[in-house]
Amino acid sequence: MKFFIDTANIEQIKEAQSLGILDGVTTNPSLVAKEGIVGREALLKHYVKICNIVDGDVSAEVIATDFNGMIKEAEELSALHPNIVIKVPIIKEGLKAIKYLSDMGIKTNCTLVFSPGQAILAAKAGATYLSPFIGRLDDIASDGVDLIRKIVSIYGYYGFQTEVLAASIRSTQHIIQCAEAGADVVTSPLDSILGLLKHPLTDLGLQKFLSDYNSTVGKK
């Protein structure tokens, strides 16, 4: 199972990288906007900065919604660094772009996925990663984790190579549920990743070990 961080924030990416468990980064236009990046040139520089921190795939999303525009942007983005993965929305033009890029040997991440049908099309087109948004499904009283389960099972039947990258993670519990559902990758905010470390018995146990040591072995 791979761990990606879902942010464009350099400090958070550095912190996740320092944990030694980070396999990649996902960004989207909203996450990039949060960092106050202004202008295309600044954005491209920001992507390169991220690629220089993490030794793994870094998703950068296209803004164009037509095939030619998507390919033009994809070429610009993939020239930035070998680890750039082109994030493309699951729309008709996006599907064509994924097929084209996949034939060219360029990695893609098919995004804004909310149904098994979209997942099948993306896999048929040769997407490297598929990003179902589980939190946004939960937001509308649907079951996001169940979508992961269904897609993993469908991909398993047919041997599709596309990796299921669970996105729109809102909690530590989501990470565990996606792991149980067989997601290949989970992309999460830093807080949700750090939440995996937490257990009150760990804290209590450590406190006891330290106080026992200090009252005997460590006594001056």
Catalytic residues: 87
- Asked if 46 is part of the footprint of ligand G3P (rule: CB under 6 A), the reply reads no
User: What is the spatial distance between Cα 74 and Cα 109, in angstroms, rounded to a whole number?
Assistant: 12
Stretch that binds ligand G3P, among 41-49, 120-128, 131-139, 206-214 (CB under 6 A): 131-139
Amino acid at 93: E
User: What is the spatial distance between Cα 169 and Cα 48, in angstroms, rounded to a whole number?
Assistant: 25
Q: Residue 196: CA atoms inside 13 Å, Cβ hemisphere, count?
A: 16
- Asked if 164 is part of the footprint of ligand G3P (rule: CB under 6 A), the reply reads no
- Contacts of 178 by beta carbon, 8 Å cutoff, 6+ apart: 134, 145, 148, 166, 169, 186
Tell me whether residue 30 or residue 215 sits nearer to ligand G3P (CB atom).
30
- Asked if 163 is part of the footprint of ligand G3P (rule: CB under 6 A), the reply reads no
Amino acid at 214: N
- Asked if 136 is part of the footprint of ligand G3P (rule: CB under 6 A), the reply reads yes
- Give yes or no for a contact between 129 and 109, defined as CB atoms under 8 angstroms apart: yes
Tell me whether residue 28 or residue 83 sits nearer to ligand G3P (CB atom).
28
- Asked if 128 is part of the footprint of ligand G3P (rule: CB under 6 A), the reply reads no
Stretch that binds ligand G3P, among 47-55, 128-136, 144-152, 175-183 (CB under 6 A): 128-136
Tell me whether residue 24 or residue 102 sits nearer to ligand G3P (CB atom).
24
- Asked if 118 is part of the footprint of ligand G3P (rule: CB under 6 A), the reply reads no
- Contacts of 32 by beta carbon, 8 Å cutoff, 6+ apart: 8, 43, 46
Binding ligand G3P (rule: CB under 6 A), the pick from 24, 26, 102, 113 is 26
* Placement of tokens 């924030």 in the chain: 9
- Asked if 2 is part of the footprint of ligand G3P (rule: CB under 6 A), the reply reads no
With contacts defined by CB under 6 A, how many residues of the chain interact with ligand G3P?
9
Phi-psi region of 36 (alpha: psi -120 to 50; beta: other; left: phi over 0): left
CB of 3 to ligand G3P, least distance (A): 14
- Give yes or no for a contact between 189 and 5, defined as CB atoms under 8 angstroms apart: yes
- Contacts of 52 by beta carbon, 8 Å cutoff, 6+ apart: 81
Site string for ligand G3P, 175-214 (x = CB under 6 A): ------------x---------------------------
Residues that bind ligand G3P in the complex, under the rule CB under 6 A = 6, 26, 28, 133, 135-136, 167-168, 187
